[in-house]
Structures are given as structure tokens and as C-alpha cells.
Amino acid sequence: MLGVNGLTRRFGDNLAVDGVTFEVPAGAMTGFVGGNGAGKTTTMRMIMGVLQPTSGTVTWAGREITVADRRTFGYMPEERGLYPKQPILDQLVYLGRLQGRSAAGAKQTALDLLDRFGLGERTGDKLESLSLGNQQRVQIAAAVIGEPEFLVLDEPFSGLDPAAVDSMVDLLREHTTRGVPVLFSSHQLDLVERLCDQLVVLARGLVVSTGTVSELRSRGRVLHRLVVGGDAGWVRALPGVHVVDVDGPTALLELEGPGSTDLVLREAMARGSVSELARVVPSLSDIYREVTS
Ligand SMILES: Nc1ncnc2c1ncn2[C@@H]1O[C@H](COP(=O)(O)OP(=O)(O)OP(=O)(O)O)[C@@H](O)[C@H]1O
């Protein structure tokens, strides 16, 4: 398990990361989300030791992290990091060797990964000759070539088509199944919702929420949608009902308790037909907007 404890980073007057604390448990896929400039990349760089924190610590397996620990980590940095003019297989084998793999082992894993990502015919091609999406696949292969004990991936899914996303998701799941903790940042909240076991939400350098998607959901306000035959504007007059929005026959409501639900239903039926009165299950995007606003 990796622990981030009160990590703080200033750039001059800019407090980019402000006392960030969270854990990435073994075998869990942790999604790191937050708007542009929230501090995700800065935090990941401090975890990887490529940027010094102003204060705070990173722990691995319950003790302060060492250089040797970090050598066992796989990292896909925001600025990527492979050589554009070198053949992709050579680069992967080289990186695997740097991370302690034998030449034969690194080559076999690299060939398997490239084959799996549809690049089996292009092993001798230079990185720059591949499309951006295919370059991204090679970057992910580079992060896992050393059989890492922890994976840090900065926006690994940006620019990937749905089929590539699915194969990356399968690859990452194989790692978490073996107990490897994975931390990845993404702005693709539908994907984060599908993929991650837990979330860390950052806003303006601060952790504003952590937990599973269902935990985050249960902390948010509960809304109901009412759809009636005519105009639903009458619902504004009911006690115990906070109207979030009314649009013709549809109203979005925050109800104070079961009594309010009964009241809304009774009133609606007395006034005509009722098509729907149901609890709204918020999407991760809705939750994200609520916790970061
Ligand atoms: N090397 C640097 N020098 C000065 N300021 C920096 C540096 N790196 C990051 N910052 C600032 O730190 C803040 C956090 O940036 P960071 O890149 O960590 O955000 P992010 O959440 O990864 O954003 P995005 O989703 O846009 O990639 C921003 O205000 C950014 O301008």
C-alpha cells in the first residue's frame, strides 16, 4: 500500500498541492480526478520522487519510501518519455533491462504487449511514425514492462479509441488482481466510474472527497424526479419539498423524508396522471460537480 501524507508543494506564491493525504491500497484501482491545475500531476511527480515536496511524506508498505522502492514502480508521466526516433521494441527492452529484467524476459514481455495492443507488426518502427493513439499504447507498455509493484499513470486513457481503452483496462485489471496498487488520473469520468475501486477528488490542491463511487453517492444529496401529465409547477407550494428544477411536466426535487414522498405522490395523482416518481442515481459527473463546486 502507498500512503501520501500531508504532501504540500509551493511554486513561489502558488500553493499547488496543499496537505494532500490519501492511500492507494494493494490491489485497488484508484482514480485521481480534479479540474485543470488541481494538482494531480504535481502530486504524482512527488510520489515518484521527480519533484521534491515542500512538506509531507510518501510511504510504501508502511514506512518512508526509498529510491529502491521507486525503482520497482511503473510510471507514465504527463510529458510521456520515450524517444521519438527509436524503434519501439528496442526502447521497451531497454526500459525493462533498466528495471532489472533479463534481456530475454524483457523482450518476450515487450513482444507480448505489442502484440496484444495490435502493434505486433510494427515492433521495428520508430515511435514517431505511429499514430498518437498507438504511441500512447507504447507508453503504457513502457510503464508495465518492468513488472511493477505499483503503477502511477498520468492520463493514460487520453487519446485512446474505445477498443484500446478496453485492452488497457484489461491490462490494468490484471495488475490489480495480482495485488499491484494502481493510481491513475483522468478527466474521463465515465471511464473512472467504470474502472476504479476508489476515487480521490482534488480541487485547488486540496482533497475534497475520497471513497468508492457508491460512498461518494451516499454522501451527496438525494434527488427525485417527478414526471406528471401536465405542468409540475404546483409542486413548489408543497411543504417539505425543495424544488431544484421544474421544466414543464418534469420536476427535480429534494424531499425531506418519506412523508414528503407520499405527499408529492398523493398530490400528483389527485391532479392527473403520474408517469414517474423515482430516485435519481447521480452520475460521477454530477457528484464531481457537487464536491468540487
Ligand atoms: N514546474 C512548475 N512550475 C510552476 N508552477 C507549476 C509547475 N508545475 C505545476 N505548476 C502549477 O501547479 C498547479 C497544479 O498543476 P498540475 O499540473 O499539478 O495540475 P493537474 O491537476 O495535473 O492539471 P491538468 O488536469 O490540467 O493536467 C497549477 O497551478 C500549475 O500551474
Q: CATH number of the domain that 121 lies in?
A: 3.40.50.300
Confidence of residue 283 (pLDDT cuts 50, 70, 90): confident
Signed CA dihedral, 210, 213, 215, 216: sign only: positive
Centre of ligand 1 to C-alpha 156, Å, is 17
Q: Which of 30-34, 79-83, 107-111, 231-235 has the lowest mean pLDDT?
A: 79-83
The last residue of one of the domains, among 161, 188, 212, is 212
CA of 161 to the centre of ligand 1 (A): 26
Ligand 1 pocket test, candidate residues 7, 10, 13, 42, most atoms within 8 A of CB:
42
For residue 205, give the ligand 1 atom closest to its CA.
Answer: 14
| Phi, psi (degrees; rounded to nearest 5) at 92 | -65, -45
Write the single-letter amino acid at 82: L
Hey, is 229 helix, strand or coil? Answer: coil
How far apart are the CA of 187 and the centre of ligand 1, in A? 15
Beta strand 182-185 pairing with 29-33: parallel
Q: What is the CATH number of the domain that holds 224?
A: 3.30.70
Question: Ligand 1 mean position to 14 CA, how many Å?
Answer: 10
* Spacing, Cα 174 to ligand 1 middle (Å): 31
- Asked whether residue 78 falls in the same domain as residue 169, the answer is yes
Ligand 1 centre distance from Cα of residue 33 (Å)? 14
Q: Is the minimum distance from the CB of 160 to ligand 1 under 6 angstroms?
A: no
d(CA 52, CA 42): 10
46 lines ligand 1 (CB under 6 A): no
What confidence tier does 144 reach under pLDDT thresholds 50, 70, 90? very high
The b-or-e profile of 17-42 (16+ CB within 10 A means b, else e) is bbebebbbeeebbbbbbbeeebbbbb
| Shared-domain flag, residues 71 and 153 | yes
- For the CA of 51, the closest atom of ligand 1 is 1
Question: Considering just the CA atoms, what is the radius of gyration of the chain in Å?
Answer: 24
pLDDT, tens digit, 9 for 90 and up, residues 230-244: 999 999 999 989 999
Ligand 1 and 37: CB distance under 6 A: yes
> How confident is the model over 23-58, as pLDDT tens digits?
999 999 999 999 999 999 999 999 999 999 999 999
- Ligand 1 nearest atom to the CA of residue 17, by list position: 14
Name the pTM for this structure. 0.86
Residue 257: predicted pLDDT: 78
Count structural domains, the chain: 2
Q: Are residues 147 and 264 in the same domain?
A: no
Query: What's the one-letter identity of residue 38?
Result: A
Q: Complex ipTM, two decimals?
A: 0.97
pLDDT the model gives residue 289: 85
From 212, 232, 264, the end of a domain falls on 212
- pLDDT for position 106: 95
Phi, psi of 15 (to 5 degrees): -85, 90
> Do 53 and 88 lie in a common domain?
yes
Q: Which domain holds residue 89?
A: 2-212
